[in-house]
Amino acid sequence: MDGVEILQGLRVYSCGSDGADLVVSLYGGHTCACGSVRWEGGMARSRLRQLRRWRDEGTLVTYVRRGSMVTLVDEDALIRGALPDWASSPPDAITS
Domain containing 75: what range? 4-87
- Strands of the sheet containing 61-66, edge to edge, are 33-39, 21-28, 4-18, 61-66, 69-73
- Higher pLDDT: 44 or 46? It is 46
Q: What is the pLDDT of residue 22?
A: 92
Q: In which element (H, E) is residue 29 found? A: none
Task: Tell me the whole-structure pTM to 2 decimals.
Answer: 0.78
Q: What is the pLDDT of residue 79?
A: 82
**Residue 42 predicted with pLDDT over 80:** no
What CATH number should be reported for the domain holding residue 19? 2.40.50
Residue at 73 is within a domain: yes
Q: State how many domains the chain has.
A: 1
Residue at 66 is within a domain: yes
Q: What number of H helices and E strands is found in the chain?
A: 3, 5
